[in-house]
């Protein structure tokens, strides 16, 4: 069946990309059936009805907001400047400000383009406007305004005049060294973008504009992203992309460094560095060896164009420093020039040096003296350079140490007998090794601290055993190697505390063998006698309900001697008289100590002092608002006081932190039953299962959960029949139990 002819409005929407996909396809088929001349006539007539270009402004803006004058006819379109795959750029006159601007308008949706593809193109267009507007730099054209034109996104920017770098190179004699200074301004613009965490990703000779009066502009920021973004999509101009861009790797400033190397290669040789796009990793840099190409600049281009990204300069800032060094001295660090080459370059740049050299060569008797003078001057210059580096470098800054090493290295190679250079290089290398070690330790500390903080906030979780093993393995501690010498590790205290939590988690999940290995590691490698004593306590302690019982023996006393080991003891072990006393000792010195508050609160709850338990729970809640332990303590005190409102409030706070916590779910069933929702309460009990509740129903050891079970029975709820089994507080697949 032939599709229905479109209306005039539908033809207008078809051209502007606003027609729905289904009708878009139908209009496509209808146009294909018409003769070519007739289809052209219909589309031309419809195009004439499209509205004039304008930038929209809200019809009724807020009282104090800004709105440009003449909003519906502010821009007058003139001639076409250029056209790309995503947008067109036209010359326009801003009639409000009476100036010529460049208007960039998103192209309408194509017949072959899906709505999703069009939407992605529109988002990229808007991102280009935002990124370009955020980069305020003399070499980056400013964005004036953003709006819509012909119903599509558009923005205005500075109207530029000049010629592209490609045209400039084509019009120069080989090599085009006069373009090095303008190229430096390009590098400075990219360095500015890198300092603002933006990677251009599309630096080509056509995107560099050189103005008539020396101005230089970097254009087309359409695919610019932040470092680490853009993975999975191959974006850029193939002839100028870095090899890793072809592999769709995340954006990195080193991609722009590669493109800058290609542009420098073009400026120096007039040729492209990549002979074949089918093999993007194969480069032809042989033209850099041609006569007339400065060695210093050729070395910079080679380093920028390294296929291995790690061998390039890290950012455009380093490339700019090399170019300025060449413009000032005729040398670059990448060149690694020797003393004779340095002297030759000085002769080329200094008329006085040339005259001196000619005079010296003419007087044969002065040749030896001139050579000695030159060598002595080079050593003195090197010594002065080393002294300036030693005074300026801040060894506490990793980047400063790396750059200083890069400068000292060539001097040390050139003057191997220069003691100052050798001593400074060794000092800098020690500092660099220390920074590397500190960075590794900091990363390991973050991983352990994250798990320790999670223990404080959400209590037991289903993957805790796996997570603790992985975190310990990251710092070089494995449970199957009890003799690992970790006592001198910078994170020894954190590792010791992590081993206690690992032991606690493995016992809770029924893995007794692995738990004993964790305790043995603590005994063998504990950083002090208190931690080692705690390892022996863990190896011999017995559990009562959920909690390990702390012994009143010599090891127990020794383990409490260290404030760090005492803190984790208060967190892990059940209330006991000596732990209660220790908790109050800690609170006298540090009233806000979290685990001391929790331990003292649990002890007060065990003795029936509900008022003290409630007070301590509230203080602990203020110390750690995101921890599950204060709400759990407050829930038990509310249960003891029969205060259903406080009970429901505490349960709600706790379940938001750990929605699978068995004790809180059982308490929730109590509140539901007391509120008359017995069916909902019974459903919660059935989902928990009877094994855990039957354990506390049949074994009375003073655990607060026993009061919860009694409240469930008093509310008339049915506890499913099952073999008593304590199990972990948060079930894990395949987990057993190791409690007595």
Q: What is the pLDDT of residues 279-304, one digit of tens each?
A: 788 899 999 988 888 888 999 999 99
Burial 360-372 (b: 16+ CB within 10 A, else e): beeeeeeeeeeee
At 201, the pLDDT band (50, 70, 90 cuts) reads very high
- Rounded distance between C-alpha atoms, residue 586 and residue 571, angstroms: 13
Tokens coding 603: 């002890």
**What is each CA distance from 247 to 194, 224, 227, 236, 255, in whole angstroms?**
22, 17, 16, 12, 12
CATH 3.40.50.300 fits 180-335, yes or no: no
Measured at the alpha carbon of residue 610, what is the angle toward residues 608 and 615, in degrees to the nearest 5?
Answer: 140
Task: Look at residue 360 in the predicted model and tell me its pLDDT.
Answer: 59
- Dihedral angle sign, alpha carbons of residues 523, 529, 531, 536: positive
| Residue 262 scores a pLDDT above 90 | yes
Domain ranges, ordered by start, for the chain = 8-47, 75-158, 180-335, 386-440, 459-574
Task: Look at residue 203 in the predicted model and tell me its pLDDT.
Answer: 94
- Rounded distance between C-alpha atoms, residue 504 and residue 633, angstroms: 20
Q: Which residues, 6+ apart, have CB-to-CB distance to 472 below 8 Å?
A: 478, 479, 495, 498, 499, 502
Q: Does the bond joining 153 to the residue before it have cis omega, within 30 degrees of 0? A: no
- 180-335: same fold as 75-158? no
| CA-closest candidate to residue 59, choices 68, 48, 46, 51 | 68
- Rounded distance between C-alpha atoms, residue 511 and residue 528, angstroms: 27
| Residue 732 scores a pLDDT above 50 | no
Lowest mean pLDDT among 472-481, 527-536, 681-690: 472-481
CA 311 centroid distance within chain:
22
> Mean pLDDT of all residues in the chain?
82
Q: What is the pLDDT of residues 220-235, one digit of tens each?
A: 888 888 999 888 778 8
At 531, the pLDDT band (50, 70, 90 cuts) reads very high
Q: What is the pLDDT of residues 44-93, one digit of tens each?
A: 677 666 554 444 444 444 444 444 444 455 788 888 887 877 888 889 98
Task: Look at residue 68 in the predicted model and tell me its pLDDT.
Answer: 44
CATH 3.30.200.20 fits 75-158, yes or no: yes
The full DSSP string for 468-534 is HHHHHHHTT--TT-TT---TTSTTHHHHHHHHHHHHHHHHHTT-HHHHHHHHHHHHHH-SSHHHHHH
CA 283 centroid distance within chain:
32
Average pLDDT for residues 417-441, to the nearest whole number?
83
**What is each CA distance from 588 to 238, 596, 617, in whole angstroms?**
69, 10, 17
| Residue 366 scores a pLDDT above 60 | no
Q: What is the pLDDT of residues 308-363, one digit of tens each?
A: 999 999 999 999 999 998 888 778 888 876 666 655 665 555 555 555 656 655 65
**460 or 645, which is more confident?**
645
Q: Is 552 left (phi over 0), alpha (psi -120 to 50) or beta?
A: beta
- Rounded distance between C-alpha atoms, residue 181 and residue 167, angstroms: 16
At 671, the pLDDT band (50, 70, 90 cuts) reads very high
Task: Look at residue 314 in the predicted model and tell me its pLDDT.
Answer: 94
| CA-closest candidate to residue 468, choices 443, 499, 492 | 499
């Amino acid at each position: 069946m032939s599709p229905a002819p479109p209306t005039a409005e539908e033809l207008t929407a078809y051209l502007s990309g606003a027609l729905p996909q289904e009708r878009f396809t139908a209009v496509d088929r209808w146009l294909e059936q018409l003769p070519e001349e007739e289809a052209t006539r219909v589309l031309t007539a419809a195009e004439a009805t499209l509205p004039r270009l304008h930038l929209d402004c809200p019809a009724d803006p807020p009282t104090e907001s800004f709105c440009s004058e003449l909003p519906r006819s502010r821009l007058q379109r003139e001639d076409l400047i250029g056209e790309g795959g995503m947008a067109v750029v036209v010359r326009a006159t801003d009639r409000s400000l009476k100036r010529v601007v460049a208007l960039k308008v998103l192209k309408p949706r194509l017949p072959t383009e899906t709505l999703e593809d069009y939407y992605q193109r529109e988002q990229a267009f808007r991102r280009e406007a935002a990124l370009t507007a955020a980069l305020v730099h003399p070499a980056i054209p400013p964005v004036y305004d953003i709006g819509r034109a012909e119903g599509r996104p558009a923005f205005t920017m500075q109207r530029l005049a000049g010629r592209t770098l490609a045209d400039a190179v084509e019009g120069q004699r080989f090599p085009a060294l006069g373009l090095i200074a303008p190229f430096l301004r390009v590098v400075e613009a990219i360095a500015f973008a890198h300092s603002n965490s933006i990677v251009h990703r599309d630096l080509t000779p056509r995107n560099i504009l050189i103005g008539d009066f020396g101005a230089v502009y970097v254009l087309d920021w359409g695919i610019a992203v932040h470092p680490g973004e853009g993975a999975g999509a191959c974006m850029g101009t193939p002839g100028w992309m870095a090899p890793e861009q072809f592999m769709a790797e995340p954006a990195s400033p080193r991609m722009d460094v590669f493109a800058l190397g290609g542009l420098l290669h073009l400026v120096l040789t007039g040729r492209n560095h990549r002979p074949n796009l089918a093999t993007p990793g194969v480069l032809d840099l042989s033209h850099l060896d041609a006569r007339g190409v400065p060695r210093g600049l050729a070395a910079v281009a080679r380093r920028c164009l390294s296929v291995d990204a790690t061998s390039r300069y890290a950012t455009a800032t380093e490339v700019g420093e090399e170019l300025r060094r060449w413009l000032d001295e005729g040398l670059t660090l990448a060149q690694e020039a020797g003393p004779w080459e340095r002297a030759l370059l000085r002769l080329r740049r200094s008329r006085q040096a040339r005259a001196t050299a000619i005079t010296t060569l003419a007087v044969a008797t002065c040749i030896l003296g001139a050579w000695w003078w030159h060598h002595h001057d080079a050593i003195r210059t090197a010594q002065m350079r080393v002294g300036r580096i030693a005074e300026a470098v801040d060894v506490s800054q990793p980047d400063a140490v790396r750059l200083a090493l890069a400068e000292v290295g060539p001097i040390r190679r050139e003057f191997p007998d220069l003691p100052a250079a050798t001593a400074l290089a060794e000092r800098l290398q020690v500092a660099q090794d220390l920074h590397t070690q500190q960075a590794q330790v900091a990363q390991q500390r973050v991983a352990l601290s994250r798990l320790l903080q999670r223990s404080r906030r959400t209590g037991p979780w289903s993957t805790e055993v796996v997570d603790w093993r992985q975190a310990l393995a990251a710092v070089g501690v494995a449970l199957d190697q009890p003799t690992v010498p970790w006592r001198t590790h910078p994170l020894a205290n954190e590792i010791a505390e992590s081993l206690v939590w690992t032991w606690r988690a493995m016992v809770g999940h029924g893995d007794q063998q692995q738990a004993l290995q964790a305790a043995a590691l603590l005994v063998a490698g504990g950083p002090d006698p208190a931690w080692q004593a705690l390892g022996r306590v863990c190896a011999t302690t017995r559990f009562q309900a959920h909690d390990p019982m702390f012994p009143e023996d010599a090891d127990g006393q020794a383990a409490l001697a260290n404030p760090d080991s005492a803190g984790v003891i208060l967190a892990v072990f059940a209330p006991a008289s000596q732990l209660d006393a220790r908790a109050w000792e800690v609170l006298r010195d540090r009233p806000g100590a979290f685990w001391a508050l929790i331990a003292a609160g649990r002890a007060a709850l065990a003795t029936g002092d509900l008022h003290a338990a409630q007070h301590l729970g509230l203080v602990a809640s203020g110390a750690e608002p995101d921890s599950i332990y204060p709400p759990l303590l407050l829930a038990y005190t509310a249960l003891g006081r029969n205060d259903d409102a406080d009970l429901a409030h505490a349960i709600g706070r706790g379940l938001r932190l750990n929605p699978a916590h068995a004790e809180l779910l059982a308490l929730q069933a109590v509140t539901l039953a007391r509120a008359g929702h017995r069916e909902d309460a019974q459903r919660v009990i059935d989902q928990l299962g009877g094994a855990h509740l039957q354990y506390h129903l049949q074994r009375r050891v003073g655990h607060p959960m026993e009061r919860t079970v009694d409240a469930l029975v008093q509310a008339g709820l049915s506890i499913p029949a099952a073999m008593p089994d304590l199990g972990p507080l948060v079930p894990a697949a395949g987990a057993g139990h190791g409690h007595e």
